[in-house]
Structures are given as structure tokens and as C-alpha cells.
Amino acid sequence: MTTGRRRRKSDNWRRRQKKDPYVRKARAGGARARSFFKLEQIDRKFRLVRPSTRVVDLGSAPGSWTQYVAERVSSPAQVVAVDRLAMDPVPGVHFVQGDFTDSGVSDDVLAWLGDSPVDLVLSDMAPNITGIRATDEARAEEIQEAVMDFCDRALRPGGTLLTKLFEDGTASGIRRVMGMRFDRTVTVKPDASRAESREFYLLGRGFFSGTATGKEGD
């Protein structure tokens, strides 16, 4: 990409941020990022977070989802956040820095959790886009495999997973896998997701580790 194209892209991004109502709302309300409102909207509809909920937040930086959850559980100590990037602390929340697709990082999280399973796994992880479709889709699959492996090891029976996906060649396969691990899956695109974005979220409820076919909702 030429210097001129990079500058135009940067200028366009700044203009979009300036006009974005959720960016303005985040700044006014002290939220770390506009993504705070994605989880807020999903939670209002599906009631994911309750005072007793034990949560692992994957791909947590800059911490908006962690912030949202920590404000709604009885104790922030019920929350573990994970990201390969550094993140400003959310008081009381345990943070693990590292690439979650590295088995050593997920093992660190499991060690901290001990014998207590979690109620809710959140994943806002996404691959760094290279523009090479095969590479990007392989990386997306690797992320989702790591998420599902973690659920098999840490999510309680009947628990919930909310994970970010993109409308690409991997989505149907991931839907199928989640359908074999949850009683019900629901596709969600909150209003705070930009309309032009290919991202959406897949919500799985009623976790079980098995191969029976679950039900997919709208």
C-alpha cells in the first residue's frame, strides 16, 4: 500500500470514528471501546451475565467486555481476561497475557481456575487479516478450535459461549461444530456492530461435550 493510500485510509477511519454514535457514547460514558455496547445489547436480550456468573473473556483488550462483565458480577474475581496484547487492569480481574491458541496460555488459565468450571466463555478474538483468504480462514479456524477445546475443558455443563465469527468459508463449519456441543445456537448481530462489517456472533447455550446434533435458532 502506498503512503498516499495509507493516509487516505487513516483519514477515512478518523472521520468514521468521529461520526460513530457508539464511539461518542463510549467516550462520554467511560467505556474503553465501542464494543462495550455490543455485549451490552446481547446481554440485555439474552441475559448472559448474572451476579453469580463466572466468566472467561478471550481476546479481551482493550478491556471493554471485561469492564462490562466486572460491573455486573458479584465480585470481579469471578472474571478472567486473556489477550496477547497488554491491557490496562480492570480492578479485581485476573489477566493473562499471551496468544490463546498457544496451549501453554490456555493451560495457565485452567491452572488459575482450578477445579471450578466457568459459566460463560466470551470470545471477541479475530485473526490479523493478511488479505490471503486461505491464510485468514485457517487462522480463524485455529482460533475457534482453541475456543472449543477450552470449553471442553473448562465450561460447566449447561454453560454458555458467545464467540465472534465472520461470514466467510469457515462460518458454516463452526456453526456445525457448535451445534454438536450446545443444545441451542443463535446467530446474533447487535446494532452496535457496523452494518458493513462481516462480523457476527454465535451464541451457544446448554453446553455438553458430545456429538449429538443440537438445534440452531435465528
- Return the H-helix or E-strand segment holding 157: strand 155-166
- What is the three-state SS of 1-65? CCHHHHHHHHHHHHHHHHHCHHHHHHHHHCCCCCHHHHHHHHHHHHCCCCCCCCEEEECCCCCHH
What is the C-alpha R_g of the chain?
17
What gap in Å lies between CA 49 and CA 120, rounded to an integer? 8
Q: Compute φ and ψ for 207, nearest 5 degrees.
A: -70, 140
What gap in Å lies between CA 95 and CA 20, rounded to an integer? 29
Type of residue found at 105: V
Retrieve residue 151's grid coordinates: 470449553
What gap in Å lies between CA 125 and CA 88, rounded to an integer? 18
Known catalytic residues?
Answer: 164
Nearest to 112 by CA among 134, 82, 141: 82
The size of the chain, in residues, is 218
